[in-house]
Amino acid sequence: MDTSRNMTSSAENGDWKLGVDIGGTFIDFFALEAKTGRVATLKVLTTPNDPGAELMTGIDLLAEREGLEPEQVNRFVHGTTVGINTIIQRKGARLALITNAGFEDVIELARLRMPDMYSLFCHRPDPLISRDLVFGVRGRMSPDGKQALAPDLGTVSSVVEAALRRGVEGIIVSFLHSWRNPAHEDLVKAEIARLGPGLFVFTSSEVWPVIREYERTSTAILNGYVHPRVATYLRGLEERLAMRKVPAQAMLTKSNGGLMNAAEGRQSCVNMLLSGTASGVIGAGWLARQAGESRILTLDIGGTSSDFALIIDGEAQFGTGELIGEFPLYLPSISVSSIGIGGGSIATVDDQGVLRVGPESAGSLPGPACYGRGGVLPTITDAMAVCGWLGHSQMAYGQLSMDVGLARAAVETLAVQLGRTVEGMAQAILDVAISELFVEVEKLSSRAGVDLRDFTLMPFGGGGPMLGAFLAREIGMRKVMVVSRPGVVSALGGLVADLRGDFIRTVFAPLSGDQLSGLAETLSVLAEEGRAWLSAQGHRGAVELRISADMRYAGQSYEIEVPLEGSWFAKADPKAIEAAFHEMHQKIYAFHDASGTIEIVNLRLAAIGAGPRLNLPAEERHAHAAVPSRFADVHLDGKVVRTAIFDRADLTAGAWFCGPAIVAQEDTTFAVPPTTAISVDAHNNLQLTFGAQHHV
């Protein structure tokens, strides 16, 4: 358990703050004692057959080893993959959809775009609600929000009967133009509650009231699909915390990088689908700002997947349309790209004799072969062990031991098939994994229009430091920064996150002076909603309101989000808004039309309540050559290389050494390739620079 560094907090003495993040293989803990500034970190293997049990185990271990008293935990923040795993595994609720008669095909038609336009074999995913459970109801709301035809409640009665008869758990209601007037959806929801009190109901306008039927309907379906499992999990979480007498209210990380309480999480489940991945990016951004790094490419590798994100000028990048499994999420979320390459990703040989790595993973059970928990298939972790990078220290805070013999036996099964040596096969597995990561990173940089050679790679998670430097070498990046506790960055992210609620109104208005007064009134309503939301979350401090708008030139099909100032609306100043839109359009598309007519489609407001301020104190640097604790033979690029091993606890501020090297610590292993120089900065980050053989 790592307690080597101190952090300070403005909280009262004697209190603990606890951040927890659950991944596919481990649950991570980051605990801060306010009285001393002491930090304790921990990893515990997940228990897929008993979700939540690993939380109790972790709290008990922290109490036993570190003196963390559960009764003294005054802040508890939790990130989880329950929602996204429910969608990926398609284990969600059986749902029905009620929509307008004649529009029953809305979720199957979607946007008529194929997932991969260059593949002749790709296909769109099957909808989460089968076509036979989509019901049309006569009734229509006009685009201006006026009733054209009242909904047929008699049909609703027959729909509820059919749904109950077919084992439906919940119903989604999504009507045309409900973003303008939700009255019809509300009326049908009330009727369903009367006729089928055992059914849960979500309307599209209450989940995310935006124009475009498919996007609004799809978001509501995702919310309903994960609702039973998420709600059950969160109730169990609160019960387990109560059993340990933890007084803190359970807070959850959201896809937008903010927090909400568990009570809201049970209803707004869709807001936490990217909970864990967003936490990692927020934690990485906070650490980057502490170290003075402004342009970061994050690489979060767990047991099952790898997640990438960009941090520019110290801030995470946001977007909409992030994929949740096979489905796009249209809520504001931290922009993350994912690929099925993780430490537990299984290597196979396909029918054509080609080596493949992932996306199948060994998970925590049985896990990689080298864990000795029953796994027999070769994984990336096994390949790292065979090459000699792993197996030189305890793993996962003493919970795992490394059996290199089992790893060799697993890799040998592929080596025999392809006529390679075991070491050559292991290197090939790593090369394929790096190649897959490289392709995904190139896509990300192309979409963002950035040159990654100007960025620093920050690898974290249990597997990030293992592969990160090799990926950076392939990309041509010059720097890699490995923070002091890379294995628990996502757990830290929850502790440094703010409360954040996102609110939206579709206004569909041309940008002109006479429209701005009405838009200012809409912003005022959104601001009141934001303040009320923060108050309901228990926030009593200052409130920050961030305003933006989805804008486009008249005739365009899609919008871009543009940050704006509320004073521009209050002063009825369209020129400032026009200039902001033109500038953003130029930045994204490399052109703008100064004479073009501009439309505002949606107004957005983010209400932010700052969380407790934490600080990582800097240490005084004393330049000195680090002394390795031991050496190992590593198979690298077809050669056997004598490699120095350093214990992370021995690397103090100002230490330096050169690659190749291995840095071992309880939560991960940092594999350092040759021709690199590493120095330890004042925040105990390892700063790696390529192209050097000596300290600089």
For the segment 332-382, what is each residue's pLDDT rounded down to a tens digit? Answer: 889 888 888 989 999 999 988 899 998 888 877 788 999 998 999 999 999
Q: pLDDT per residue over 112-150, tens digit each?
A: 777 676 777 778 889 999 999 999 999 999 999 999 999
Q: What pLDDT score does 13 carry?
A: 44
Laid out side by side, the sheet with 38-45 consists of 38-45, 26-33, 16-22, 73-79, 250-253, 259-261, 499-510, 598-609, 543-553, 560-564
Q: Is residue 147 part of a domain?
A: yes
H or E element at residue 231: helix 213-243
Q: Is pLDDT above 50 for 185?
A: yes
Q: What pLDDT score does 12 carry?
A: 43
Provide mean pLDDT across the span 598-605.
96
Q: Is residue 381 part of a domain?
A: no
Q: Is residue 183 part of a domain?
A: yes
Q: Which of 35-39, 393-397, 468-472 has the lowest mean pLDDT?
A: 393-397
What per-residue string of b and e applies to 413-447 under the rule 16 or more CB within 10 Å gives b?
Answer: bbbeeeebebbbbbbbbbbbbbebbeebbeebbee
Q: Residue 236: CB partners within 8 Å, gap ≥ 6?
A: 51, 52
Q: Grade residue 696 by pLDDT with cuts at 50, 70 and 90.
A: very low
Provide mean pLDDT across the span 687-696.
69
Q: Is residue 250 part of a domain?
A: no
Bond into 660 cis (ω within 30): yes
DSSP state of 371: G
Q: Is residue 263 part of a domain?
A: no
Q: What pLDDT score does 692 carry?
A: 56
Q: Is pLDDT above 70 for 649?
A: yes
Q: Is pLDDT above 80 for 397?
A: no
Q: Is pLDDT above 60 for 4?
A: no
Quote the CA–CA distance of 298 and 465 in Å, as a whole number. Answer: 11
Tell me the pLDDT of the chain averaged across its residues. 90
Q: pLDDT per residue over 527-576, tens digit each?
A: 999 999 999 998 988 999 999 999 999 999 889 999 999 999 988 889 99
Q: pLDDT per residue over 281-294, tens digit each?
A: 999 999 999 999 99
Tokens encoding 513: 């002076």
Considering 208, 230, 252, which residue would you say is the last residue of a domain? 230
Considering 191, 209, 230, which residue would you say is the last residue of a domain? 230
Q: What pLDDT score does 373 carry?
A: 87
> Between these two residues, 603 and 399, which has the higher pLDDT value?
603
Q: pLDDT per residue over 77-88, tens digit each?
A: 998 888 888 888
| One-letter identity of residue 506 | T
- 594 CB-contact burial (10 Å; exposed 0-12 / middle 13-18 / buried 19+): exposed
For residue 91, the enclosing domain spans: 87-230
Provide mean pLDDT across the span 451-474.
95
Q: Grade residue 226 by pLDDT with cuts at 50, 70 and 90.
A: very high
Q: Is pLDDT above 80 for 101?
A: yes
168-182, 238-252, 558-572, range with greatest mean pLDDT: 168-182
Secondary structure of 189-208 in HEC code, one letter for each residue: HHHHHHHCCCCEEEEHHHHC
Q: What pLDDT score does 6 carry?
A: 57
Tokens encoding 444: 């990300």
- 375 CB-contact burial (10 Å; exposed 0-12 / middle 13-18 / buried 19+): buried
Q: Grade residue 2 by pLDDT with cuts at 50, 70 and 90.
A: low
Q: Domain holding 591: CATH number?
A: 3.30.1490
- 184 CB-contact burial (10 Å; exposed 0-12 / middle 13-18 / buried 19+): buried
Residues paired with 551 in a beta bridge: 560, 600
- As a whole-number percent, the residues of the chain with pLDDT over 90 amount to 68
Q: Is residue 49 part of a domain?
A: no
Question: What is the phi/psi pair of residue 287, to 5°?
Answer: -65, -35
DSSP states of 593-621: -TTS-EEEEEEEEEEEE----EE------
Q: Is residue 255 part of a domain?
A: no
Domains: count for the chain: 2
Q: Is pLDDT above 90 for 422?
A: yes
Helices (H), 393-512: 404-418, 422-448, 464-475, 489-496
| One-letter identity of residue 530 | G
Quote the CA–CA distance of 40 and 4 in Å, as a whole number. Answer: 8
- 325 CB-contact burial (10 Å; exposed 0-12 / middle 13-18 / buried 19+): middle
Q: Is residue 681 part of a domain?
A: no
Considering 610, 642, 661, which residue would you say is the last residue of a domain? 610
Quick check: 26 and 84 in contact, CB under 8 A? no
Provide mean pLDDT across the span 464-472.
96
Please state whether the predicted TM-score (pTM) of the whole model is above 0.75. yes
Q: Domain holding 177: CATH number?
A: 3.40.50
Q: Tokens 């294995």, residue?
A: 487
DSSP state of 379: B
Q: What pLDDT score does 11 carry?
A: 41
DSSP states of 306-326: EEEEEEETTEE-EES-EEETT
Q: Is pLDDT above 80 for 496?
A: yes
In residues, how long is the chain? 696
Q: Is pLDDT above 50 for 10?
A: no
